[in-house]
Amino acid sequence: MGHSIEELQRIGVKFYLAEGAEPNLSKVIAAFHRWIRNSSVEGLLIDVADYAHVPEGPGALLVAHEGNYALDFAGGRPGVVYYRKHAADGDLAARLRSAARNALQAASLLENDPELEGAIEIGGDELQIFANDRLLAPNSDETEAGFRPVVDTLLDALFPGVACKHCRDQNPGERFNIDIKASQKSDAKTLLARL
């Protein structure tokens, strides 16, 4: 399994929005279209999908060749997410860090987009890390044991010296995912600078 988890490419990171945030998806979708026009975030940006009609769905999705960006509502909690679809360079830790960086870059852009009028702000102390690959990373204790060191490496960078609680979703049907809560908050720009 150790070998398999090292091969994992389909990694995602979601930074939850601050409590009570009610993002206007229409404005986010419009922002994503502008991002495509201006190449605002990393990757070959292809299209925008509007899933505002789907409860607890992907919300606003910016489809890119390498991976997707979204302001999604999975689990009933809105957040800015990036998940990788195609292979990236570097070892697993580097790939996870890269996914987190992309998510934070998107979050930072949304936080500072004048059209969104400050309606989007990440909480800065909660995130989810997931493996979108049941072959290499089934939702199991073994996967958690193999993945934990790279998660801790990322958290050490994001929240230096700060305690973080981990909570893995134990539902065997769900993909492998860990919710993380840090004991201190930081804004997207600060978190991004730490990566």
Smallest separation (angstroms) from another protein to the CB of 20: 20
Is 160 a binding residue for another protein by CB under 8 A? The answer is no
Q: Which of residues 42-61 bind another protein (CB under 8 A)?
A: 44, 46-47, 49-58, 61
Taking the C-alpha atoms of residue 35 and residue 62, their distance in angstroms, rounded to an integer, is 9
Smallest separation (angstroms) from another protein to the CB of 40: 12
Is 9 a binding residue for another protein by CB under 8 A? The answer is no
Tell me the site size for another protein, rule CB under 8 A: 39
Taking the C-alpha atoms of residue 129 and residue 104, their distance in angstroms, rounded to an integer, is 13
The token pair that represents 172 in the structure block: 């065997």
Is 134 a binding residue for another protein by CB under 8 A? The answer is yes
Smallest separation (angstroms) from another protein to the CB of 160: 33
Strand pairing class (164-168; 122-131)? unpaired
Helix (H) or strand (E) holding 165, with range, is strand 164-168
Contact predicate 19/77, CB 8 Å? no
Contact predicate 95/150, CB 8 Å? no
Q: Which of residues 66-105 bind another protein (CB under 8 A)?
A: 68, 74-75, 85-86
Q: State the burial class of residue 44 (Cβ atoms within 10 Å of its Cβ: 0-12, 13-18, 19+).
A: exposed
Smallest separation (angstroms) from another protein to the CB of 146: 14
Q: Among residues 83 and 159, whose Cβ is nearest to another protein? A: 83
Q: Among residues 9 and 153, whose Cβ is nearest to another protein? A: 9
Smallest separation (angstroms) from another protein to the CB of 111: 20
